[in-house]
Structure 1
Amino acid sequence: MNIPNVNETLELLRKLVSIPSPSGNTSEVITFVESFLSELDVTTQRNHKGALIATLPGKDSLNHRMLTAHVDTLGAIVKEIKPSGRLTIDQIGGFTYNSIEGEYCQIQTNAGKVYTGTILMHQTSVHVYKDAGKQERNQKNIEVRIDEVVHNAEDVRQLGIEVGDFVSFDPRVQILESGFIKSRHLDDKASVAILLQLIKQIIQENIQLPYTTHILISNNEEIGYGGNSNIPPETVEYLAVDMGAIGDGQQTDEYTVSICVKDASGPYHYSLRKKLTHLAIDNGIDYKLDIYPYYGSDASAAIRSGHDIVHGLIGPGIDSSHAYERTHKSSIKNTYKLLFHYIQSEMEV
C-alpha cells in the first residue's frame, strides 16, 4: 500500500513542529490537533491533564485498543533573571546543554507575550574568553540572550518576563527533495502526524475497525507520565508510537519502522512484538527490531501505573534524538503501513 498524500503528512508534520509545546505548555498544539479531528467529525475529549483522546468505534466494543503519540517536546523554563539581563534556564526533558547551544528560542510570558532570544554560552566570545571552547556546557554557563534592549534584571521584568516562563526551541524544520526531514521535535510529532493522517484515511475511506480504538495524544511523555491514565478498562492492547533511537550498537535507521524489543523499563510484550514483526513481513514492510537502553515510553508508563494491558512500541527512526533530529520519508511510510495493518488485525482475546 501507499500512504495517501504523503506530502500532506509531511506538511502536517511541518505545522506540528512549528507550534511551541514544551511539556507543561501544550494547549496550543492540542487545540490544533483537536481542530484537525473535529473537521473529520471524530469524537474527542480532553482529560484533566490537557491531553486529547480520540475514539473510533469498532465492531467489537467489549475489547479495545489504544494507540498513543505525544505532542509535548523538550524545552526549558526561566530559572533566574541575571543582573546582566540574561536568563538562566532549567531543563524540561532530558537533553544535553551542548545540544541547544546557539539555538534560537522563544520566551512566553505569563500574560502571553512572546519574545525571541538566543541560547548561548556565557563565555562565547573567543576574543574575551581564552578558554571559551573548554568551558563546560551546563546550567551555570548557558544563558538566554533576549532580543530586546535590556541592561539589567529590572529591564527584563518590565517586559513581563519572570521566573517560570516557558522557553521553546526554534525547530528549524526543513523538508528536503532527498526525502529527509530535519527538525527539532520529530520526537514525537512525526508519530503524531502519522496517526492523524491514518485517522483521516480511516474516516474518508469508511474503514471498519475490528475493535473500538482510542488514540491518546499525550502531552506529558517527556517528563515520564503522559500515558499512565485514562486507559479504558476494556483496553487489551496499548501501542505507543514514538521515535526509534539511532546510534552505535543500534539496528534502527532513518528508512524503516523500528519495533522496540526492550527499553529501560524492560521487555515489551513478546506476543505483541511477534505479531508486529509478522505483520511487517507479511505486508512487505521494512522494519528493524531494536533495544533502546536509555528510553521510556507512554506504554511503559502505563505498565508502571498498574494497567493490565499488552504493551508495545514502534516508530520511525530518528537520528540525533533530543538534539537537531532527522528522519526520512521512507521511515514515515513504513511506520504508517505497519500501523494501517495493525489496527485492522485481530487480537488474541
Structure 2
Amino acid sequence: MKRFNVEDVIEVLKQLVNIPSPSGNTDKVITAVENWLEPLGVEMQRNRKGGLIVTLPGKNNTEHRMLTAHVDTLGAMVKEIKSDGRLSLTMIGGFRWNAVEGEYCKIETSEGKEFTGTILIHQSSVHVYKNAGEVKRDEKNIEVRIDANVKNAEEVRELGIEVGDFVSFDPRFQVTDHGFIKSRHLDDKASVAILLNTIKLLIEEQRQLPYTTHFLISNNEEIGYGGNSNIPPETVEYLAVDMGAIGDGQTTTEYCVSICAKDSSGPYNLEFRKKLVQIAKDQQLNYAVDIYPFYGSDASAAIRSGHDIIHGLIGPGIDASHSHERTHRDSLENTSKLIYHYLLSTMK
C-alpha cells in the first residue's frame, strides 16, 4: 500500500458530501461515482434500485467477496405547503428534529429546480414567542423558510415546489488544522470515499485480488434495504463498511477503525470478526471492537433477506452520528488499511 495518501480519501469525501443525495434521490451522486471510476476502466453496472456495483476479477472466481458502503443520506421531503408560504417536512432516515434545527437546506423540485432555505422551529423569534425554547421539536413545529419572496401556498407552488419534493441539508464540510473532518453525511460517504480510493489503489498497483470482489455503492441503506439484493450466489464473505458509533459505553474513537461485534440485528459472524481483528493486529492498526445498540447495516439487511453469506461490519469512528458529525484523518487511514489488507487475505 505504498501509494496510500489519506488526503486522497478526504478529497473524494469532500466531493461526495457536497452532492445532495437523500435516500430516494441519489441519481446525481451515483453518476458522480461512475464518472470518477470511469478512467480506471473497471466493470460497473447499476442495479434496478439505482445502486452501483463495481467488480474486480480475482484469481478465484468460484468464491466471491462483496463490500458495500452507502451513498444515500438523511434528508427530508416536503409534506405540506403551509398557508403562510413555509414548508412542513417528513423525515427521510432516522434523526431528531433538533439535530437539523437552524440548518441551511436545499429544496429540489421534480422538474430539477433548486431553492435554498433554512430549517427552523415555527416559534423561532424569542421576541414574539415566550415559550420558544420549550416548544417541542417535531414535524408539527419544524418548518422550512424558503429563500424566495413567497407569502402563501399559491406563490410557493408558482415556484414549482410541491409535496414530495426532496430537501437536503447543507453539509458544511471542513477539515481542521488538527486533522478533524467535520461534515454532515460522513455516514456513510466517508466509507464510500475509502472504497473508491481503495479500488483506485488496487488498479494503479495492478494488484490481482485472491477472489473476485464486488463493491456495492448502495443507495437505500438509511431506509433499511440498500444492500439486500444483487449479491452474486458465489459470494461467501459480505463486508459492510459503515460508520462506527461513538458515545457512552463505546470503545470506538474518532481515530480508529471500528469492528462491530453486534448491532440491533444481532451478532455479526464471529470467525469473520476474529479474522478482521487479527489483520488489524498484524498491521498494527488502531482498532476497537464495539457493539452498536441502535443500528443496522447493509450486511444485516442482506442477512434478513435470506442470503447465505458470512457477514461483517467495520467503519471509521464518527462522533455525533446523524447530527453534526466529525471524524479524524487517522480513522480514515486505519479503516482504509484494514480494508486493503483484508482484500489481499485468503478466506481459509
TM-score by length of 1: 0.99
What residue number does 2:273 align with?
273
- Report deviation, 1:37: 1.1
Q: 2 CA distance for matches of 1:298 and 1:185?
A: 16
* CA deviations over 1:173-208 (Å, ceiling 9, x no partner): 001121000000000000000000000000001011
Verify: 1:109 aligned to 2:83, yes or no: no
1:245-260 maps to which residues of 2 (within 5 A)?
245-260=245-260
Verify: 1:148 aligned to 2:148, yes or no: yes
Verify: 1:41 aligned to 2:46, yes or no: no
Verify: 1:287 aligned to 2:283, yes or no: no
What residue number does 1:161 align with?
161
What residue number does 2:96 align with?
96
What residue number does 1:81 align with?
81
What residue number does 1:231 align with?
231
CA separation of 1:3 and 1:328: change in aligned 2, threshold 3 A = farther
Q: Say which SS state the counterpart of residue 40 (structure 2) adopts.
A: coil
What residue number does 1:175 align with?
175
Q: 2 CA distance for matches of 1:275 and 1:287?
A: 13
Q: What 5-or-longer segments of structure 2 have no aligned partner? A: none
Verify: 1:263 aligned to 2:263, yes or no: yes
Q: 2 CA distance for matches of 1:3 and 1:66?
A: 24
Contact 1:179–1:328 under 8 Å retained in 2: yes
Q: 1 CA distance for matches of 2:244 and 2:235?
A: 24
Q: Say which SS state the counterpart of residue 102 (structure 2) adopts.
A: coil
Identity among equivalent pairs (%): 70
Q: 1 CA distance for matches of 2:343 and 2:7?
A: 23
What residue number does 2:303 align with?
303
- Report deviation, 1:7: 1.2
CA RMSD after TM alignment? 0.7
Q: Say which SS state the counterpart of residue 133 (structure 2) adopts.
A: helix
What residue number does 2:54 align with?
54
* CA deviations over 1:267-312 (Å, ceiling 9, x no partner): 0000000000000001101100000000000000000000000000
- Report deviation, 1:3: 6.2
Q: Say which SS state the counterpart of residue 125 (structure 1) adopts.
A: coil
Instruction: Give the residue type in structure 2 aligned to 1:337.
Output: K
Q: 2 CA distance for matches of 1:331 and 1:8?
A: 14
CA separation of 1:174 and 1:3: change in aligned 2, threshold 3 A = farther
Contact 1:3–1:337 under 8 Å retained in 2: no
Q: 1 CA distance for matches of 2:270 and 2:3?
A: 28
Q: 2 CA distance for matches of 1:161 and 1:312?
A: 42
Q: Say which SS state the counterpart of residue 330 (structure 2) adopts.
A: helix
Q: 2 CA distance for matches of 1:284 and 1:3?
A: 18
Contact 1:64–1:236 under 8 Å retained in 2: yes
- Report deviation, 1:8: 1.8
Q: Say which SS state the counterpart of residue 39 (structure 1) adopts.
A: helix
Contact 2:3–2:201 under 8 Å retained in 1: no
Contact 1:63–1:236 under 8 Å retained in 2: yes
Contact 1:316–1:331 under 8 Å retained in 2: yes
* CA deviations over 1:49-108 (Å, ceiling 9, x no partner): 000000000000000000000000000000000000000000000000000000000000
Instruction: Give the residue type in structure 1 aligned to 2:218.
Output: S
Q: 2 CA distance for matches of 1:287 and 1:9?
A: 19
Q: 2 CA distance for matches of 1:216 and 1:345?
A: 20
Q: Say which SS state the counterpart of residue 133 (structure 1) adopts.
A: coil
What residue number does 2:202 align with?
202
Q: 1 CA distance for matches of 2:156 and 2:176?
A: 39
Q: 2 CA distance for matches of 1:141 and 1:192?
A: 34
CA separation of 1:185 and 1:158: change in aligned 2, threshold 3 A = same
Q: 1 CA distance for matches of 2:65 and 2:86?
A: 48
What residue number does 2:122 align with?
122
For structure 1, which segment, 44-53 or 34-43, has the greater mean C-alpha deviation from structure 2 after superposition? 34-43
Q: 2 CA distance for matches of 1:59 and 1:114?
A: 47
- Report deviation, 1:2: 6.1
Q: 2 CA distance for matches of 1:19 and 1:3?
A: 27
- Report deviation, 1:5: 2.6
